């Protein structure tokens, strides 16, 4: 799992080359570096843009806007305290979208974006009309599918009311007609089927494996982090069970997991007797990241599902 500060800043435009801006950028970058922020220069640029109100104003500026320093100081102090950059900015980038974020809701991570690419690859050779996103959180995956697959309908499920409300906002911003968010637990919620794909980034951190990043510890909700049980796979197991029930034969399952959980999740898929073509997909850093499997016909899961495969991104 990546940390919030590793995500791309919301604004990627150059801040200009004026001496006032260079001085401010250097000063803020140094402060953030001393505070232990892993990407001080990138974050400093994003904070300067936000302090200006209109980032484009900074391109050729000779004088800093009135009140700029006071606003910037407030923003920098929040980042020095290791509040995630996305919460300070109020948005997080995810593929082609800028998603709203809220305190207390899991912040979307860049590596999760690859899940949509896996679905798009599958859709080149299979019909995809109905998709379910389990444990949707902010709705990042569901919103990206709506955005990039304009004929697909998406149902997103989330048990936390605050996160479900945020997901509704993010899906409605893309297409309120094709996206729906339901509040409920993945283990018990009534869901329609059969569907063509089930995607999920469930909680999966094992018990006792406390995140080291301050941003995660202080700001990501435990409900979205810990998967249950000593191995962290209680909720991922439930996702697999629901996917087996919801998917039509030939339907796709893509589930994110910790980089050490590839063998265990493949074994769970094999043991279910429901999936074929079970493999692990690596993320862009080369780490095991996604369980990918296809729903077989009843009684046919032994055909090809016994092979463990790892695929690079």
Residue 15 confidence class, pLDDT cut points 50, 70, 90: low
Tell me what pLDDT residue 214 has. 59
Position 305 pLDDT exceeds 70 = no
Does 125 share its domain with 245?
Answer: yes
For the segment 119-130, the average pLDDT, to the nearest whole number, is 97
DSSP classification of residue 226: B
Does 82 share its domain with 212?
Answer: no
- C-alpha dist (Å) from residue 37 to 8, 86, 291: 14, 13, 31
Does 54 share its domain with 158?
Answer: no
Between 17 and 53, the more confident residue is: 53
Between 137 and 1, the more confident residue is: 137
Does 130 share its domain with 29?
Answer: no
d(CA 310, CA 313): 10
Listed residues 44, 68, 89: the one ending a domain: 89
pLDDT in tens, 242-272: 999 999 999 999 999 988 999 999 999 999 9
DSSP string computed for 182-203: EE--TTT------EEEEEE---
Does 64 share its domain with 126?
Answer: no
Does 62 share its domain with 115?
Answer: no
- The listed range with the strongest mean pLDDT (51-60, 89-98, 296-305) is 89-98
Does residue 37 sit in helix, strand or coil? coil
d(CA 85, CA 176): 28
202 is annotated as contributing to ligand binding: yes
Does 12 share its domain with 113?
Answer: no
Tell me what pLDDT residue 11 has. 43
Tell me what pLDDT residue 181 has. 98
Cite the beta strand spans of 2-152 per DSSP E.
91-94, 97-100, 130-134
Tell me what pLDDT residue 216 has. 62
55 is annotated as contributing to ligand binding: no
Q: Using CA atoms in the order 77, 79, 80, 81, what is the torsion angle rounded to 10 degrees?
A: 90
Listed residues 67, 89, 111: the one ending a domain: 89
Tell me what pLDDT residue 23 has. 84
Does 34 share its domain with 144?
Answer: no
pLDDT in tens, 85-104: 999 999 999 999 999 999 98
Question: Which CATH number belongs to the domain containing residue 103 in this structure?
Answer: 3.40.50.150
4 is annotated as contributing to ligand binding: no
Between 51 and 136, the more confident residue is: 136
How many Å separate Cα 179 from the centre of its chain?
17
Does 214 share its domain with 81?
Answer: no
> Helix, strand, coil proportions of the chain in percent (round to 5)?
40, 20, 40
Residue 19 confidence class, pLDDT cut points 50, 70, 90: low
Does 109 share its domain with 197?
Answer: yes
Q: Tell me which residue has tokens 């980032």.
A: 55
Tell me what pLDDT residue 302 has. 39
Looking at the structure of the chain, the number of domains it has is: 2
Query: Taking all residues of the chain, what is their mean pLDDT, rounded to a whole number?
Result: 85
Tell me what pLDDT residue 209 has. 67
Does 134 share its domain with 267?
Answer: yes
- How deeply is 210 buried, as exposed, middle or buried, from its count of CB atoms within 10 A (0-12, 13-18, 19+)? exposed
pLDDT in tens, 154-201: 999 999 999 999 999 999 999 999 999 999 999 999 999 899 999 999
Percent of the chain at pLDDT exceeding 90: 65
Between 12 and 275, the more confident residue is: 275
201 is annotated as contributing to ligand binding: yes
Name the phi and psi angles at 194, rounded to 5. Answer: -80, 155
DSSP classification of residue 38: S
Write out the residue range of the structural domain in which residue 108 sits.
93-311
Listed residues 33, 62, 89: the one ending a domain: 89
d(CA 249, CA 294): 8
203 is annotated as contributing to ligand binding: yes
Residue 60 confidence class, pLDDT cut points 50, 70, 90: very low
pLDDT in tens, 197-249: 999 999 988 876 656 675 565 656 666 676 777 788 999 999 999 999 999 99
pTM, whole model, 2 decimals?
0.85
Does 81 share its domain with 29?
Answer: yes
């Amino acid at each position: 799992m990546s940390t919030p500060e590793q995500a791309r800043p919301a604004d990627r435009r150059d801040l200009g080359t004026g001496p006032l801006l260079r001085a401010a950028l250097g000063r803020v970058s140094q402060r953030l570096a001393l505070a232990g922020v892993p990407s001080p220069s990138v974050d400093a640029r994003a904070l300067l843009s936000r302090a200006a109100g209109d980032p484009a104003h900074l391109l050729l500026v000779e004088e800093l806007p009135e009140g700029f320093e006071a606003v910037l100081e407030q923003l920098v102090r929040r980042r020095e305290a290791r509040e995630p950059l996305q919460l300070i900015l109020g948005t997080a980038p995810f593929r082609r979208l800028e998603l709203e974020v809220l305190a207390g809701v899991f912040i979307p991570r860049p590596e999760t974006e690859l899940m949509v690419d896996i679905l798009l690859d599958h859709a080149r050779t299979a019909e995809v009309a109905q998709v379910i996103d389990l444990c949707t959180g902010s709705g990042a995956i569901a919103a990206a599918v709506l955005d990039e697959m304009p004929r697909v309908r998406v149902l997103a499920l989330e048990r936390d009311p605050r996160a479900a409300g945020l997901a509704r906002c993010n899906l409605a911003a893309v297409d309120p007609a094709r996206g729906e968010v339901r509040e409920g637990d993945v283990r018990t919620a009534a869901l329609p089927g059969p569907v063509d794909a089930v995607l999920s980034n469930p909680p999966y951190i094992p018990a006792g494996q406390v995140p080291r990043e301050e941003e995660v510890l202080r700001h990501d909700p435990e409900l979205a982090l810990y998967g249950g049980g000593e191995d962290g796979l209680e909720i991922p197991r439930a996702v697999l069970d629901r996917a087996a029930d919801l998917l039509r034969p030939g339907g796709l399952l893509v589930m994110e997991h910790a980089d050490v959980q590839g063998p265990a999740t493949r074994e769970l898929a094999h043991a279910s007797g429901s999936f074929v073509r079970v493999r692990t997909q690596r993320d862009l850093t080369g780490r095991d990241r996604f369980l990918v499997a296809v729903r077989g016909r009843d009684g046919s899961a032994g055909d090809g599902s016994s092979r463990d495969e790892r695929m690079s991104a």
